[in-house]
Amino acid sequence: MSHVIRSEVTVAKLAEHGIDSVDAFCEKCGNSWRAPIHILPPATTLAKIAALMACPKCGGRNVDVTPASREERPTGH
């Protein structure tokens, strides 16, 4: 997941990697928070998620999202 194309990465794709939330960052006030994405339709893209988000602090709509990696754990091969 080092090269993320936001318009192509979907909730379903992230779920495959065990990711069920994103780290959101407000470009206006610098607030950051974690938002659950497993409640969204599987076909929702990262770009769409970012577009839907608003900062809970300042209401800014310039929100950047990155997949939140859960605690490291072996994938079990």
Q: How far apart are CA 77 and CA 59, in angstroms?
A: 44
Q: Is 34 in the site for Zn ion (CB under 5 A)?
A: no
Q: Is 29 in the site for Zn ion (CB under 5 A)?
A: yes
Closer residue to Zn ion, CB minimum distance, 12 or 29: 29
Spell out a b/e string for 33-52, using b for 16 or more CB atoms within 10 Å of the CB, else e.
Answer: eebebeebeeebbbebbbee
One residue of 1, 4, 18, 28 binding Zn ion per CB under 5 A:
28
Residues 6+ apart with CB under 8 A from 57: 26, 29, 31
Q: Is 62 in the site for Zn ion (CB under 5 A)?
A: no
Shortest Å, Cβ 9 to Zn ion:
23
Would you tell me which residues interact with Zn ion (CB under 5 A)?
26, 28-29, 31, 55, 57-58, 60
